[in-house]
Structure 1
C-alpha cells in the first residue's frame, strides 16, 4: 500500500526552482532515503509534506489526504524531526517525552504509557531518567527522535537526523532509526551521508537541483555505476609494469596509492569472484608480491557522483 504519494511536485522561490516536478511514492512500513547535496530540494520536500510550506504546483498525499486541502488531518498522521535536537535541558529525557506527548493531545496516562513503550523499543531505558544536559550528542538526538514517536505517527520525517554527530553517536542514532521497521513506522530519511542511506533505507531517491536523477534499492543504484572491481595492492612499485603485462587481458581502471604508499592497480571484475581468482592465480605464477587483493562493488558515493555529474552535463547541453 502506498502511504505517501508525491505527483509533479514543484516549489519556486521567485526565479529559484527548488523542486522541478518530482514524483515519489513511499510504501507503508518502508524507509525511503532522500539523498542529495545542499540545495537539491530535500528539506523543501519534507517541509511541503509536513504542511509547513505550500507547493507551487503538483500535489502530495499522506494516507490519501492532501497536504494542502486536508492539512489538519495530515498533521495527525505525521511527525517531524529536524536537523537539530530541540529539548529542554533542565528536564530529564522522560520528562521531555511526556511533555511532548501532552502537548500533542495525549492524556497524562496515555503519555506515560507511550513513553515507557518508546523508551524500551528504541533503547533509551538506560538514560531516560537523566537530565538532558547530561546526555551525549547522540543520546540527545535519540531522545529527540523518540519525541516524534510518542504519538505513534504513521509517517515520520527525519531531516538529516545525524548532522554534526561523531561516528559513535551517529551509529547509535542509526540503531534507533533501524528499529522503526520493527514498529511498522513509515519513514522518509533525508541525508547527505550515503553510507547512512545504504545502511538504513529500503529504497533511495536521489535529488539534484530539484530533480530526481535516480531511484531504486541501494543495490540497484550501485549496479548503475558499473561492474565490480578488483583492487590489487602490490608490495613493490617495481612490479607495476610486470603486472600490467601479465594482466593484459583485463580492463585496467585508474591506478592509485594505498594509505601505506603502496601501488594499487584496479581492474574491472565482471566475473566478480572468478575474476579475483584468475588475477590471484596469474600473480602467483608470476611471483609478484601482493600486499592485498580485494573485490569491491561500486559505493553509493560513486553512484551519486556519476549521476549528478551526468545530470549537470545534460543541463549544460540545453543551455543556449
Structure 2
C-alpha cells in the first residue's frame, strides 16, 4: 500500500506550542463535542438527512452565512463573503449515516434502530461547522467561502446528484478541500499525499444461474452456490497476481445471497462486491479481470 507522503503533527490541548488558531478553536470545544454527539444520537441515512440538514442550516444562519436550499434533496449550500478578493474556496463534508446497528454502548450511542454513524460523518459535519463558526467569528479570510454539506455519500451517488442539480453552476469554486477521519491515528495527526487521497469505489453484482434440484441427485444439477464459491476464491487472485505490488487495490465480496432449504441445490445466486483502487489503469484491469474470471468459472461447470 502507498504510504502517506507526509504527515503533519499538531499539538492539541494547552501547551506552549498551541497556535492562536488552536487557542481560538478551543474556546468552543465543549460546544462542538456536544453537537457531534447529538448528530451521532440521531443518525440519518442517504437522502434522509432532514434533521441534520436543518440543524446545519440553522447554525450557519445564526453565524451570518447565506444559506441555499434545494439541491439534491437534503443538500445545503452556504457561503460567506469578506473582502475584495475574487477567490472562492469550497469546504466539503458529508452528513449521512449507515443502515446498521450500533453496539458501542456509549452514552451518546445511536437512538435510532438500525441507523449508525459508523463511518464518522457526524464528525465530518461537526468539523466543517467548527471551521465555519471560527471563520465567521474571526473573519480570517478574504474572498467568498463556499460550504458544501453533501447527502448520500454512502450511496455513492450523492455527489453526482449535486452536480446534476447545478452545484457548481450556482456556486463555482476555485478549489475544494475535504477530509476523512482515520480512527487509530494519534490525536492531532494529519496525513497528506500527492495524487489521489481517497480510493475509487465500484459496486458490482454478479448473478450466477445454474440448474437447481434436490440435494440427493446433484448429478442432475449445476450448483449455483458452488459456482459462486469458486468465483469468490478466484477473484482473490486478481490483486496478488494481476496487479503490481506497488499499486493498492482491494476486491471485497461482501454478500452472497443463495437459497434457504438445506436439501435443495440452488439455481441462482446473487453476489455483491466492491472494488477500491487509487489508479485508473489498475481499476480498469481489476474490473476486466472480474468479468473474465466470473465467466470462465461459470463455464467450467
Normalising to structure 2: TM-score of the pair?
0.33
Q: Which has the higher helix share?
A: 1
Q: Which has the higher strand share?
A: 1
